[in-house]
Structure 1
Amino acid sequence: MSDTEAVKPFKVFFVVGEESGDQLGAEVIKSLRALIGERLEVCGLGGERMAAQGVQSIFPLHDIAVMGITAVLERLPTIIRRVHLTVDAVIAEQPDLLLIIDSPDFTHSVAKRVRKKAPHIPIVDYVSPSVWAWRPGRAKKMAVYVDQLLALLPFEPAAHERLGGPPCEYVGHPLIERLSELRPTEGERSELGTGTKQLVVLPGSRTSEVSRLLEPFGQAVELIYAQDPNVEVTIPAVPHQEERIREGVRSWKVKPHIVTGEAEKFAALRRANAALAASGTVSLELAIAGVPMVIAYKLDWFFRRFKQVNRFIRFITVDTIVLPNLVLEDHSIKEYIEEEANPETLSQAVLELLSDTPKRRAQLDAFARIDEKMRLPEGESQAGKAAQIILRTAGISV
């Protein structure tokens, strides 16, 4: 590094759209600072964790951190104004690099406009949209305004290469660095046949998911208990859904234990013998924890109202939407979509996993390969690798 380069500040403008992006952004700032020290300048849009690392957010993150199509439509005028405000802030700051993190509906709207107004600013996207699952044409469109993509899933670089997307590198997933929190210690998870069977039920983190899945999950639990009363049910609830879930389970004939907070959730996974869960990142948590699972998914009111279910399903370009299946190139976890996600079908699928069956063993055998697929080389961390690629994209050597 030359003397001139050593003293030149390196300004990164961050754009995140929700809490998960705030977590990733904060860790990247720490890693960038470890590599280039006080030379790093940070600004942009973030939450509490990034604020602790020096990012004075241009507006509160909750202005745009909405989930579900109903909430988005209600807040659409505000979100559109925030997109333009963010673009103006980027142009005013003239950063050395723009880092957008997840929340593609918002962050990509910003990135596209910045590329048109200031094409000299390098743009890195941290967390790939699910182009490998649906709307694959997005990959080629991204290549116009994204210079480098940082992927959380190991199969994504090949997917973007196949689809004509931007340069993409796997940087690791946050969960694979938390094995000690997800995997049971000796005696923490009882063997089948030696005690009460532990079933975790995870109806989702979004209001739309909980409202669609909690009732059929409760009916499935009742059918499970009728055939195997040696089952204890735990529901790990995200804090903002706790009251909704507590209200929803009042009518359940089999009363579940409800726990909140990430630590309690991970403890429940470490004890669990099987799971009934909504589709999403939780399936990866369960796989890493070694919990055989049944995955369900129901479409929201928008697709139902306009009778777009079949059209939606045709948009899906992979033969499974379960993340562990995609990571492991395995189909041992079956997902139950729409009409298939009924109490009778779900209960029978769970019961098969609560006994020593071929389906249970197939999932456990698949989970045994997850480390080799997802772990980074010894000595590398997710945030550290992301920081190195960001600096390389900006033309900075360390």
Structure 2
Amino acid sequence: MAARPASVVARKIFLVATEESGDRLGASLMKVLRQRLGDAVRFEGVGGLTMAREGLVSLFPIQELSIMGFTAVARKLPMILRRVRETADAAVAAAPDILVIIDSPDFTHRVARRVRARAPAIPIVDYVAPTVWAWRSGRARAMRRYIDHVLALLPFEPEAYRRLNGPPCTYIGHTLIEQIGSLRPDADEQRRRDGQPPVLLVLPGSRRSEIRHHMTVFGETLQRLREQGADFELVLPTMPHLIDAVREGVAGWPVAPRIAVGEQEKKAAFRIARAAFAKSGTVTLELALAGVPMIGAYRAGPIEMWIALTLAKTSSVILANLVIGENVIPEFMQADATPEKLAAALRDVLEDTPQRRRQLDAFSRLDAIMATGSQSPSVRAADIVLATLRKSRTSV
């Protein structure tokens, strides 16, 4: 009688993602890992709705941790630390083949340190490199004690981790490079982008606190621009849960924007926009890949801004500038973000000026700068997770 084949031992992967962006990364990673391992994989941990659709039952709702601002975090600190302990306890009890922490380093790294101390044999991969190149550079060296591999979304990060003596770090590519086709115009959209009146995007932020800090000065800037004779069609992309805050914020604006709701409408607006007025952040890289010249502005509470400016060690807070390696996008921080300065800078990117042409030339280099070959970021991430898992098993 032929012997029965040995049963396949399922790989157990514990993931921790506590923000929506990390939840999306986690879900894509889970999908590829399931393609690689088939039924021989189980997922446990913390995640949001997108990871839930891939089969993860989260230890708790990640909305509990959607907290912005130092004072708000201080008030919620006992709850946050309790969730850190619970997550680390669950990871140790699960005894997974690997732990993958995804972004949110203030939370996930606390979990990782606890797991490494109590179960040092569990390999740990950090998906989304903490910004050690921007502030608190000593974190890179400290991470060597509890992180086995870092997955970087930005092309300059592996060199920064090497220079700062951090753990091994590999550039896997930013998820935005998978969306280029939906960000760039077809022939009809290009004609609208070049047409009159020009479409001007306004992007005040993706959190309520950011909208609160930016709406007044953005509205005053647009009023000054209109008083100077500039003609434009205004579009404000936002997400469904922010519509009420946005409508309240634009109520007193001199030009009523068309509010584009959701990812599809946002990308459609990007494809016809001639210029953008954006809160500094990831959206600047998205705009640059879409070929939309812009200016960046940022305002925050005085304590948050003082800490950020004191600790920051970069030449720019605009992500697109950092990836390009040149400060081609003007940025206006805090008191410098006045309607007078912002309106003048906006005219420069709305009209055919050297400033506008310089940005477009820089944006044309991004595809080469951010290239990852034929593999998607999710596939590259999954390959490194599995390689780290196999390496740990052979070294036991």
Q: Does 1:388 align with 2:383?
A: yes
Q: Indicate yes or no: 2:357 matched with 1:361.
A: yes
What TM-score does the superposition give when structure 1 sets the normalisation length? 0.94
For the residues of structure 2 that align with 1:160 and 1:216, how far apart are their CA atoms? 37
Corresponding residue number in structure 2 for 1:63: 64
Tell me the secondary structure at the aligned position of residue 12 of structure 1: strand
Distance 2:371 2:194 in 1: 33
The match for 1:152 is 153
| 8 Å contact kept, 2:70–2:304 | no
| Shift of residue 65, structure 1, vs aligned partner | 2.9
Change (3 A) 1:175 1:31: same
Match of 1:172 in 2: 173
Q: Which amino acid aligns with 2:169?
A: C
Mapped pair 1:33 → 2:28: no
Equivalent residue, structure 1, for 2:108: 107
Contact (CA 8 Å) 1:101, 1:125: kept in 2 or not? yes
Paired residues, what number? 389
CA distance in 2, matches of 1:194, 1:262: 24
* Conservation of the 8 A alpha-carbon contact between 2:316 and 2:327: yes
Inter-CA distance 166–254: structure 2 relative to 1 (3 Å threshold): same
**Residue of structure 2 equivalent to 1:377:** 373
CA contact (8 A) 1:14 1:46 kept: yes
CA contact (8 A) 1:208 1:300 kept: no
SS of the equivalent of 1:172 reads coil
CA contact 2:236–2:259 (8 Å) conserved in 1: yes
- Is the alpha carbon distance of 1:312 and 1:26 closer, same or farther for their aligned partners in structure 2, counting shifts above 3 Å? closer
**How far did residue 30 of structure 1 move?**
1.1
In 1: Cα distance, 2:254 partner to 2:50 partner: 41
Matched residue, 1:216:
217
Runs of 4+ in 1 over 3 A off after TM superposition: 3-6, 189-194
> Could you report, residue by residue, the CA deviation over 1:25-79 in whole angstroms, capped at 9, with x for unpaired residues?
1111111111121111111111112112121111112122323334323322211
Q: Counterparts of 1:240 and 1:218 in 2: how far apart (Å)? A: 21
2 CA distance for matches of 1:320 and 1:261? 28
Looking at structure 2, the residues matched to 4 and 326 of structure 1 have their Cα atoms a distance apart, in angstroms, of 53
Contact 2:193/2:271 (<8 A) preserved: no
Task: State the match for 1:52 in structure 2.
Answer: 53
User: Which residue of the other structure, out of 348, 351, 360, is the alignment partner of 1:352?
Assistant: 348
Q: Could you say if the C-alpha distance between residues 74 and 363 of structure 1 is closer, same or farther in structure 2, counting changes exceeding 3 Å? A: same
Query: CA-to-partner distance for each residue in 1:147-187, whole Å, 9 max, x for gaps?
Result: 00001111111111111111100111111011111111112
User: Quick one: which amino acid aligns to residue 106 of structure 2?
Assistant: D
The 3 A distance-change label for structure 1 pair 175 and 163 is same
| Partners of 1:111 and 1:123 within 8 A in 2 | yes
Residues 325-336 of structure 1 mapped to structure 2, 5 A cutoff? 325-336=321-332
- The CA deviation at 1:301 is 4.1
Matches within 5 A, 1:133-212: 133-190=134-191, 194-212=195-213
* Percent identity (aligned): 47
Single out whichever of 184-193 and 222-231 deviates more from structure 2. 184-193
**What are the superposed Cα offsets for residues 314-361 of structure 1, whole Å, 9 maximum, x if unpaired?**
421111121111111122112111111111101100001111100000
> 1:123: how far off?
0.4
State the 1:191 CA deviation. Answer: 6.6
After the TM superposition, which of the residue ranges 61-70 and 260-269 deviates more from structure 2?
61-70
Alpha-carbon distance in structure 1 between the residues aligned to 2:7 and 2:296: 51
Kindly state the Cα deviation for residue 293 of structure 1 after the two structures are TM-superposed.
Answer: 0.7
Could you tell me how far 1:193 is from its partner in structure 2?
Answer: 6.8
CA distance in 1, matches of 2:181, 2:304: 40
Residues 87, 113 of structure 1: 8 Å contact kept: yes
Gaps of 5+ in 1: none
Structure 2, gaps ≥5 residues long: none
Q: Which amino acid aligns with 1:19?
A: E
Contact 1:290 1:364 in 2 (8 A): yes
Find the aligned partners of 2:38 and 2:328 in 1 and give their Cα distance. 46
CA RMSD in angstroms, aligned pairs only: 1.9
State the secondary structure of the residue aligned to 2:190: coil
Q: Distance in 2 between matches of 1:262 and 1:67?
A: 22
Three-state SS of the structure 1 residue aligned to 2:129 is coil
> Where do residues 80-119 of structure 1 align in structure 2 (5 Å cutoff)?
80-119=81-120
How many angstroms apart in 1 are the aligned matches of 2:143 and 2:301?
27
Match for residue 226 of structure 1? 227
**Structure 1 Cα separation of the partners of residues 20 and 246 of structure 2:** 21
- Decide whether the 8 Å contact of 1:203 with 1:277 is kept in 2: yes
